[in-house]
Chain A
């Protein structure tokens, strides 16, 4: 993956997001406190927001170029997006949710990829259920499946574990590692949890007040504290 932000700026309430960075690792974390602009970065990449200035390119192709008035709409970007609230369609079954974005494929091809995905994420027995009847962890895996089944060029995950309790986090984390290793899809992963960054990511961009405050390998930016939790080293 090569996701390039060139002089991108976006005015938000109380801060201006400014990015000039190239992300080229398979799993990159956007790390920072609440209100630092992490979700807005995902929305810019997904095409749900328009930048005020700058260029965003994915693998050399412009998604947004404000000067040249290029803005590829979200539906044409082939970028998977899993928001923090998951946004499962409440009136559709799990099966209908996960195939919502699938283009017309021969049934055999679709069945094969859906079968594999459902097996890996262990949701094959949930297909006829409604989202409201699922547990938090099941909902999470369905949201991953829905985004993955469209074969995205890039997967955007917005704090996927933030709303889960510790035991559920520990159960979902292996699924995220499976997605990373089995499907080999580049991931941009928003989090404010250092341990998730350490567990999953090769590269981390630290956002503070809308600006890139640090960039590097997780091991270089985080240190194990006395309480055996990871903390960001002083910048």
Chain B
């Protein structure tokens, strides 16, 4: 592989990692709420969270373009107060990856929280533990493998993200080109050999991530 290709792999890896860490606290928090609490409108939130899984990624990208563009309130605010350009930058790559992989993190973490018996948490409270202590010492340690598994899966999804990324971040060599965008671009230009090399890298990364995630999910059920 050429050094430019390694750079694309490294860039994609770094962006996916950043996106995964960025959504981790929100995803875990939301997953806990969905697993443990009931509130009016919960089903609407559940549906909204799952939307990026079923919507055309390009449509999600278009929404992101509208939300993060300079003319939007959020885009204008970020530009004005923090001098942050979002669209067609690496930040847009992270945003697209984060939005597209968020449902998988929430789903994985939610399953992990639901697998923890509420009875254990109840008993911990009768032993004098605060809610925070129960979460930190009982719920989180018992759910951590499932949460990591969900994170790995969501990371894998971020690595392969294409539709939303191409729309909101484009294909600027050295700045926003990711693995999947690069494969698309190589095919368009007739560089089948380059595309094939990147394809092999994609398959290996995806395989390792999914295999790790499955392995962690299998081990995540707390022992009695």
User: Are A and B subunits of one complex?
Assistant: yes
Roughly how many angstroms separate A147 CA and B128 CA in the complex, as a whole number?
Answer: 11
Roughly how many angstroms separate A146 CA and B138 CA in the complex, as a whole number?
Answer: 15
Interface status of B141 (Cβ within 8 A of chain A): yes
Chain B residues contacting A171 (CB-CB under 8 Å) are none
Interface status of A16 (Cβ within 8 A of chain B): no
Which residues, 73 to 103 on A, are CB-close (under 8 Å) to B? 73-81, 83, 85, 87, 89-91, 100-101, 103
Which residues, 89 to 136 on A, are CB-close (under 8 Å) to B? 89-91, 100-101, 103, 130-132
State whether B127 touches A150 (Cβ < 8 A): yes
State whether A73 touches B125 (Cβ < 8 A): yes
Interface centre among B122, B222, B223 (most CB of A within 10 A): B122
Instruction: Give the distance to chain B from A154, nearest Cβ to Cβ, in Å.
Output: 11
Interface centre among B120, B142, B222 (most CB of A within 10 A): B120
Chain B residues contacting A150 (CB-CB under 8 Å) are 127-128
State whether A89 touches B120 (Cβ < 8 A): yes
Roughly how many angstroms separate A94 CA and B128 CA in the complex, as a whole number?
Answer: 18
State whether A132 touches B126 (Cβ < 8 A): no
Residue from the list A47, A100, A131 in contact with B124, Cβ < 8 A: A100
Instruction: Give the distance to chain A from B174, nearest Cβ to Cβ, in Å.
Output: 46
Chain A residues contacting B117 (CB-CB under 8 Å) are 85, 87
Chain B residues contacting A199 (CB-CB under 8 Å) are none
Residue in B closest to A133 when the chains form the complex, CB atoms: B223
Q: Mark B184-224, 1 if CB is under 8 A from A, else 0.
A: 00000000000000000000000000000000000000111
Chain B residues contacting A47 (CB-CB under 8 Å) are 125-126
Given A81-B123, A87-B122, A90-B222, also A101-B142 (CB < 8 A): no
Interface status of A41 (Cβ within 8 A of chain B): no
Instruction: Give the distance to chain A from B147, nearest Cβ to Cβ, in Å.
Output: 14
Which residues, 131 to 153 on A, are CB-close (under 8 Å) to B? 131-132, 146-147, 150
State whether B119 touches A75 (Cβ < 8 A): no
Which residues, 110 to 126 on B, are CB-close (under 8 Å) to A? 117, 119-120, 122-126
Roughly how many angstroms separate A101 CA and B138 CA in the complex, as a whole number?
Answer: 12
* Total residues of chain A contacting the partner, CB 8 A: 27
Looking at chain B's contact residues, is the secondary structure mostly helix, strand, loop, or mixed? helix
Residue in A closest to B126 when the chains form the complex, CB atoms: A81
Roughly how many angstroms separate A33 CA and B138 CA in the complex, as a whole number?
Answer: 33
Q: Mark A202-229, 1 if CB is under 8 A from B, else 0.
A: 0000000000000000000000000000
State whether A74 touches B125 (Cβ < 8 A): yes
Given A85-B119, A90-B224, also A74-B126 (CB < 8 A): yes
Q: Mark A33-51, 1 if CB is under 8 A from B, else 0.
A: 0000000000000111000
Roughly how many angstroms separate A90 CA and B142 CA in the complex, as a whole number?
Answer: 8
Residue from the list A77, A87, A132 in contact with B123, Cβ < 8 A: A87
Interface status of B43 (Cβ within 8 A of chain A): no
Given A85-B119, A87-B120, A90-B142, also A75-B125 (CB < 8 A): yes
Which residues, 79 to 137 on B, are CB-close (under 8 Å) to A? 117, 119-120, 122-130, 137
Residue from the list B122, B124, B125, B128 in contact with A103, Cβ < 8 A: B128
Given A90-B142, A90-B223, A91-B222, also A101-B127 (CB < 8 A): yes
Instruction: Give the distance to chain B from A110, nearest Cβ to Cβ, in Å.
Output: 14
Roughly how many angstroms separate A234 CA and B197 CA in the complex, as a whole number?
Answer: 83
Chain B residues contacting A87 (CB-CB under 8 Å) are 117, 119-120, 122-123
Chain B residues contacting A85 (CB-CB under 8 Å) are 117, 119
Instruction: Give the distance to chain A from B71, nearest Cβ to Cβ, in Å.
Output: 50
State whether A91 touches B122 (Cβ < 8 A): no
Roughly how many angstroms separate A63 CA and B142 CA in the complex, as a whole number?
Answer: 31
18 A-B contacts, Cβ less than 8 Å apart?
A: A48-B122, A48-B125, A74-B125, A76-B128, A81-B126, A83-B119, A83-B123, A85-B117, A87-B119, A87-B120, A87-B122, A89-B120, A90-B142, A90-B222, A91-B141, A100-B124, A131-B224, A150-B128
Q: Name the 3 nearest CB pairs between A and B, nearest first.
A: A101-B127, A74-B125, A81-B126
A81-B123, A150-B127 provided; 19 other pairs, C-beta below 8 A?
A: A46-B122, A48-B126, A75-B128, A75-B129, A76-B128, A79-B126, A83-B122, A87-B122, A89-B120, A89-B138, A90-B142, A90-B222, A90-B223, A90-B224, A91-B141, A100-B137, A101-B124, A101-B129, A103-B128
